[in-house]
Amino acid sequence: MDDLARRLKGRALALGFDRVGIAPAQAPPGYPHFLAWLDAGRGAGMGYLADHAGARAHPGAILEGVRSVVMASLVYGGRSGQPAVGKVARYARGADYHTALRGRLELLAEWLRDEAPGVSARAVVDTAPLMERDFARLAGLGWIGKNTMLIDRKLGSFTVLGALLVDADLEPDAPHASSHCGTCTRCLDACPTGAFDGPYRLDARRCISYWTIEHQGPIPDAAAGELHGWAFGCDVCQDVCPWNRKAPAARIPEFAPRPEWEAPDLVEWLTRSKWRWKRLLTNSALRRAGRSGLVRNAALTLGVAGRVDAVPALAARLADPKEDPTIRHAAAWALGRIDAPEARAALDAHARG
């Protein structure tokens, strides 16, 4: 199995993964912390995390008889420019990372079954109840930073993780036992909404990524006014991390940024047809928020920015009786934040029915 593990890693790298390591299948060390995080309400409205919390206690809940966890990472991009309003998190600017990871993991699983007949393997991306960062640390891929992200000394933290669960004993790598954050608190200090109340303590109830991606329906006024130009996700705590100063760019073509997500026109988002939304969200991580969430986010950020040029599009969304109520709510909120006669006129027209 030692030789098999070595060849498996070589095959993973040949498939395009940037790093690969192997951890024994065990209870993840961070599981008690995860339960305490849920109990404190820090998971906000992500009820699915609590619903499947028990399954995260051991990877055996995903693959019966699992003995090894192969962790692999893909770099999705280092530093790049972004607009002041309409920012999209880097991981979502190219093709859907789920597709990029799963396709390579399935090929790796196929290779393993050919090399070791009788071995079972299951590819896992972040839709399964696995504590990926815990197992990535156990597999030697890096340490978990104060912003709760996995950090690799050479790759930084702009990486996505996938796993291959195997029911055979593969030679494990030494876990990454140390942290290299030192006394640095730049990630905690830079968070524009104060979502961290200490190292390793993220409160989703104050996190821009939560509100712009996971939350469904209207965003409460307090959070709506604190999106800081982000239309999907947030990279601030990674942008300021010293370990990302020399973060490499993505090597795989799937992660090349798409123009519509790298420098989006949020006014156009408001007027874009549902058919075009459906087409553009195909094989995109932004599909998680969907048209409703993305147009909502666009309206809110344009309102905070006081964009008078967005008033006609906002007024049209508000006036459309067939429009999603979440979008209409956001359009009204945004118009109320824009100090212009035409914005007030649109609100007055809506009030008159």
* Below-70 pLDDT ranges, the chain: 1, 78-80
* Interatomic CA distance for residues 8 and 125, integer angstroms: 18
* Interatomic CA distance for residues 323 and 273, integer angstroms: 12
Residues paired with residue 156 on neighbouring β-strands, in sequence order = 152
Q: Is the pTM of this model over 0.75?
A: yes
* Closest to 193 measured CA to CA, from 236, 153, 250: 236
* Closest to 30 measured CA to CA, from 116, 144, 142: 144
Q: Is 316 within the bounds of a domain?
A: no
Q: Is 21 within the bounds of a domain?
A: yes
- Residue 197 and residue 269 in contact, taking contact as beta carbons nearer than 8 Å: no
**pLDDT of 353:** 80
**pLDDT of 178:** 93
* Interatomic CA distance for residues 152 and 20, integer angstroms: 12
Copy the structure tokens of residue 191: 């968070």
Residue 126 annotated in active site? yes
Helix%, strand%, coil% for the chain, nearest 5: 45, 10, 40
Is 160 strand, coil or helix?
A: strand
pLDDT, tens only, 235-255:
999 999 999 998 899 999 999
The total number of structural domains in the chain stands at 1
Q: How big is the chain, counted in residues?
A: 353
Domain enclosing residue 44, as ranges = 2-78+94-166
Q: Find the helix or strand (DSSP H, E) in which 21 lies.
A: strand 19-24
Copy the structure tokens of residue 255: 């992660």
- Cα–Cα distances in Å, from 187 out to 10, 17, 225? 34, 27, 21
> Which of 126, 169, 239, 265 is labelled catalytic?
126
* Interatomic CA distance for residues 317 and 271, integer angstroms: 8
Q: Which residues contact 103 (CB under 8 A, 6 or more apart)?
A: none
* Closest to 83 measured CA to CA, from 315, 298, 332: 298
* Closest to 194 measured CA to CA, from 203, 185, 186: 203
Q: Is 44 within the bounds of a domain?
A: yes
* Interatomic CA distance for residues 207 and 110, integer angstroms: 39
Residues paired with residue 160 on neighbouring β-strands, in sequence order = 74
Q: Find the helix or strand (DSSP H, E) in which 163 lies.
A: strand 159-166
* Interatomic CA distance for residues 296 and 210, integer angstroms: 14
Q: Is 65 within the bounds of a domain?
A: yes
How do beta strands 230-232 and 87-88 pair?
Answer: parallel
- Residue 84 and residue 94 in contact, taking contact as beta carbons nearer than 8 Å: no
* Closest to 75 measured CA to CA, from 253, 260, 208: 253
Q: Is 102 within the bounds of a domain?
A: yes
Q: Is 134 within the bounds of a domain?
A: yes
The residue assigned the tokens 């095959």 is 11
Q: Is 243 within the bounds of a domain?
A: no
